[in-house]
Amino acid sequence: MSGASAVHTLSLSKHYGARVAVHDVSVTVRTGEIFGLLGPNGAGKSSFVKMLVGLIRPTAGQARLLGQPLEDPAVREQLGYLPELFRYPAWLSPYEVLNYHRALLKRPAWSRASSDALLDRVGLLGRGAHRIGSFSKGMQQRLGLAVALVGDPRLLFLDEPTSALDPLGRHQVHALLQTLRGEGVTVFLNSHLLADMETFCDRVALLNQGELLHVGAVSAAMRSEPRFHIGVDALPPAVRTALAPWLVPDSVIPTVTGLRITVAVDRPDLPTVHRTLLEQGVAVYEVEPVTTHLEEWFRSMVASDHPAAPAEAD
């Protein structure tokens, strides 16, 4: 098993009686990257993360965090964790919450200036003495992120970190994650918001029914397909027949200038399609490559009967 990686699992599994939550998952998270864990509800994501942060015990398999065995208590001191569902007592202030968690880590209490510096990172500067009961859900989410950073973690687990945030808050979290990566912190991100994963992550893993379907770069999942949108002024029956080898079924859509069609063709063969249109007297207004977004890729992977594929696909 790798000692240079931030997370390395080998055949990690979790069973709840007869129900298999996670089955034989082997994955490596590189030091200093932002790594995303994807999967539909019930895919095993939470069980996988809870094994890594020590909340539940694996049924089988092994894991190392920051080069040390998962069971090593010293590893916990180097982790930060933001759970999906958390609540702090309404009568406490952020200062009190931060100092309480600092004490749990057996660290000296922070000065107000140090606490303010951390609150500033999550957009709560000036709110340190306010009661949490007056906070919105988004503000409480920001405080949870600050708590996850209390111990200056080397490895940060975030479960739905932007679920209650507005677009500005999501942008601030994105900027913070980029800063943390620049500081050498590894971020393990679990989210249902695929647009965030698309924006934040270097690589993603896809779990479905407890099994690993894919590990690879986000750019690979979003790689341009061999398809193109073409804007034309019309599509007479004879032209439609001539384009039959390439025309994607049900892809003819009316536009202001005429029609938009979609063709499935490798880029070297695109001029042939273009020439066919011109020879038939059809005006071509635009040609645009079709790019698969992470959400589309996710749906296609989960919907298909895709075999488990532990080998990384970059």
pLDDT (tens digit, 0 to 9) for every residue of the chain, 314 residues total? 444 799 999 999 999 999 999 999 999 999 999 999 988 888 889 899 999 999 999 999 999 999 999 888 888 889 999 998 788 999 999 999 999 998 888 877 778 888 999 999 999 999 999 999 999 988 999 999 999 999 899 999 998 888 778 888 888 888 899 999 999 999 999 887 787 788 889 999 988 889 998 898 887 776 667 889 999 999 999 999 999 999 988 889 998 889 999 998 888 889 999 999 999 999 999 998 887 677 777 777 777 655 444 445 44
Residue 16 burial class via C-beta count within 10 angstroms: exposed 0-12, middle 13-18, buried 19 and up:
exposed
Q: Any residues with CB less than 8 A from the CB of 121 and at least 6 apart, and which?
A: 146, 149, 176
The maximal CA–CA distance of the chain, rounded, in angstroms, is 79
CA 152 from chain center: how many Å? 22
Q: How much is the pTM?
A: 0.77
Q: Which of 39, 50, 107, 121 is nearest to 78 (CA)?
A: 107
Phi and psi at 167, nearest 5°, equal: -55, -35
CATH of domain 225-291: 3.30.70
At the topology level, CATH places domain 7-221 in Rossmann fold (3.40.50)
Alpha-carbon distance values, 139 to 91, 123, 128, 165, 281 (Å): 15, 8, 11, 8, 60
DSSP assignment letter at 193? -
User: What pLDDT is recorded for position 204?
Assistant: 92
Q: Could you tell me the residue ranges of all domains in the chain?
A: 7-221, 225-291
Q: Do residues 14 and 22 make contact, with C-beta atoms less than 8 angstroms apart?
A: yes
User: What pLDDT is recorded for position 24?
Assistant: 95
